[in-house]
């Protein structure tokens, strides 16, 4: 009798998991309480996967031997509570796909900020080096779908804490932790320790043949390493700007405008002034990417060339246009305070800052000094802007309260003058006015194109 797999969620991770399960001979049923995109339905139909949308048929789901849950569905969802009450194992797509990846190796990137840029840069370096590599996890294609449909030798995976929470036997051959700062605390009982422990799951099951890359400048990461004591068996490769470090396995250190990354006997030196991606946060990203690809055996010359040629990631400090000496910058992916800290840190001109959305328990105090020095106008864009207005009332000289996207953009255009930068860097989730941060960023760029650049 076939083992039964239920898949919750019909997004990228869901359809990929369902197709891989179908290919491996499971009895598969996919259920999505919302609507499944037509392009995903087409793939499910192509593989004859049974699915439903708009409801959860509990009888079918609770009859499964195992459930693969989308990372976007919280553990508090009623159907998940019932599944756990039945004692049915709940895992992530990452855990499931890893069972069938064969001899392929993984480079896994997690962290509160910088993981998308770092993942994209590592993927570019691996492609430029001629490796047969997939891009998956939080970006790119579904990891499970890649495993189901092709034979890769490397998988570069961006992993969220939610995905790691559903991993138990999965192992990262090369694990990268960019940093740990408060984010998604609403899913972790508003406790940073709980969230940090989820991030440290990137190291679970690692052995002495694996690598763990982390920021020696990040205090929370350092605290977690002390807490782990001697349980970490992987080769440790720290990177740092502010900290003197010494590691027998290798490290990356910035001195002046250049950093040198070393793993074993191989090293690469990068002049940060030649990088297309700017800001201190991107130096961190480049250092961790250099360490990861050195650990993967890539030639240092390829690493250097790829880092110099790498362009900014969409929605992360992405230039959206310049008209009348007013810059427009799309940083929609900045959904937490720490991301905005890096964005404001990189601002060189008077800034009109567009922020707001669904607050995740934010503490805005780290932003106040930059806001005081750099922000001339704060545009609050959200259904409820009370907290933002209260926090920055005595910090920013002008605050505009806007409950719609159109009003916020028009207000930004009205107050910006030549020499300014208009920065969309929300510090919040997008769900009050948008489907996701991608939609928010695309709408920002389209509005700029139609109402500023083409006027």
- 3 state SS of 301: helix
Do 190 and 41 reside in the same domain of the chain? Answer: no
- 346 near 440, Cβ under 8 Å? no
pLDDT of residue 433: 82
Number of domains the chain is built from: 3
Residues in CB range of 411: below 8 A, 6 or more apart: 379, 400, 402
Do 133 and 274 reside in the same domain of the chain? Answer: yes
Q: Using CA atoms in the order 160, 166, 168, 172, what is the torsion angle rounded to 10 degrees? A: -20
Do 216 and 85 reside in the same domain of the chain? Answer: no
Do 296 and 374 reside in the same domain of the chain? Answer: no
Alpha-carbon distance 32 to 51, whole Å? Answer: 8
Domain closes at, from 68, 91, 114? 91
Domain closes at, from 35, 68, 91? 91
Task: Tell me the HSE value of 14 on the side-chain side, using a 13 A CA sphere.
Answer: 29
Q: Domain of residue 73: give its range.
A: 4-91
Do 268 and 372 reside in the same domain of the chain? Answer: no
For residue 213, report the phi and psi dihedrals to the nearest 5 degrees: -110, 130
Read off the CATH number of the domain in which 177 is found: 3.40.1190.10
Do 79 and 21 reside in the same domain of the chain? Answer: yes
pLDDT of residue 99: 97
Do 324 and 398 reside in the same domain of the chain? Answer: yes
For residue 402, report the phi and psi dihedrals to the nearest 5 degrees: -130, 125
Alpha-carbon distance 381 to 407, whole Å? Answer: 8
Per-residue pLDDT reduced to its tens digit, 113-148:
788 889 999 999 999 999 999 999 878 889 999 999
pLDDT of residue 223: 87
**pLDDT < 50 positions in the chain:** none
Do 422 and 382 reside in the same domain of the chain? Answer: yes
For residue 262, report the phi and psi dihedrals to the nearest 5 degrees: -130, 130
Do 226 and 107 reside in the same domain of the chain? Answer: yes
pLDDT of residue 246: 66
Domain closes at, from 289, 309, 329? 309
- What is the distance in angstroms between the CA of the first residue and the CA of the last residue of the chain? 66
Per-residue pLDDT reduced to its tens digit, 219-243:
888 888 888 877 889 999 999 997 7
Do 285 and 240 reside in the same domain of the chain? Answer: yes
Token pair, residue 32, equals 């999505």
Do 271 and 156 reside in the same domain of the chain? Answer: yes
Do 301 and 339 reside in the same domain of the chain? Answer: no
- Angle formed at CA 204 by CA 234 and CA 165, multiple of 5 degrees: 150
pLDDT of residue 440: 93
Read off the CATH number of the domain in which 324 is found: 3.90.190.20
Read off the CATH number of the domain in which 29 is found: 3.40.50.720
Alpha helices in 24-57 (DSSP H): 38-46
CA 220 from centre of chain: 18
pLDDT of residue 430: 73
CA distances for 210 relative to 154, 155, 168, 217, 224, angstroms = 14, 15, 17, 22, 19
Token pair, residue 196, equals 């940090």
């Amino acid at each position: 009798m076939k083992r039964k797999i239920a898949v919750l969620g019909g997004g990228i991770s869901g359809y990929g998991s369902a197709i891989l399960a179908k290919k491996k001979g499971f009895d598969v049923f996919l259920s999505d309480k919302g609507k499944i995109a037509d392009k995903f339905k087409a793939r499910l139909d192509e593989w004859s996967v049974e699915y439903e949308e708009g409801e959860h048929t509990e009888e079918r789901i609770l009859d499964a031997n195992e459930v693969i849950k989308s990372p976007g569905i919280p553990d508090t969802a009623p159907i998940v509570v019932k599944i756990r009450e039945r004692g049915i194992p709940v895992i992530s797509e990452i855990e499931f796909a890893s069972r069938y990846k064969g001899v392929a190796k993984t480079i896994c990137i997690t962290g509160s900020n910088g993981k998308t840029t770092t993942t994209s840069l590592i993927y570019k370096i691996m492609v430029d080096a001629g490796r047969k590599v997939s891009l998956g996890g939080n970006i790119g294609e579904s990891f499970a779908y890649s495993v189901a449909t092709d034979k890769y030798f490397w998988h570069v995976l961006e992993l969220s804490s939610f995905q790691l929470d559903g991993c138990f036997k999965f192992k990262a051959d090369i694990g990268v932790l960019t940093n740990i700062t408060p984010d998604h605390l609403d899913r972790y009982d508003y406790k940073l320790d709980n969230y940090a422990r989820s991030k440290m799951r990137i190291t679970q099951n690692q052995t002495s043949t694996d690598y763990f890359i982390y920021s020696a400048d990040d205090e929370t990461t350092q605290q977690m390493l002390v807490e782990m004591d001697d349980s970490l068996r992987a080769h440790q490769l720290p990177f740092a700007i502010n900290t003197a470090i010494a590691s027998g396995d290798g490290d990356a250190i910035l001195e002046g405008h250049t950093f040198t990354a070393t793993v074993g006997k191989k090293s690469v030196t990068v002049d940060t002034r030649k990088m297309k991606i700017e800001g201190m946060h991107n130096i961190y990203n480049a250092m961790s990417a250099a360490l990861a690809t050195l650990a993967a055996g890539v030639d240092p010359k390829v690493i250097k060339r790829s880092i110099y040629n790498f362009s900014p990631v969409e929605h992360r400090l992405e230039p959206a246009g310049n008209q009348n000496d007013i810059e427009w910058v799309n940083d929609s992916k900045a959904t937490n305070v720490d991301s905005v800290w890096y964005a404001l840190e990189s601002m060189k001109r008077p800034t009109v800052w567009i922020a707001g959305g669904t607050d995740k328990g934010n503490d805005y105090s780290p932003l106040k000094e930059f806001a005081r020095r750099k922000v001339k106008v704060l545009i609050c864009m959200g259904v409820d802007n009370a907290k933002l207005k209260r926090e920055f009332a005595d910090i920013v000289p002008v605050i505009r309260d806007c409950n719609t996207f159109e009003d916020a953009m028009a207000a930004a255009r009205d107050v910006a003058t030549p020499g300014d930068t208009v920065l969309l860097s929300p510090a919040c989730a997008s769900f009050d006015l948008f489907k996701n941060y991608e939609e928010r960023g695309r709408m920002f760029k389209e509005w700029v194109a139609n109402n500023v650049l083409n006027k």
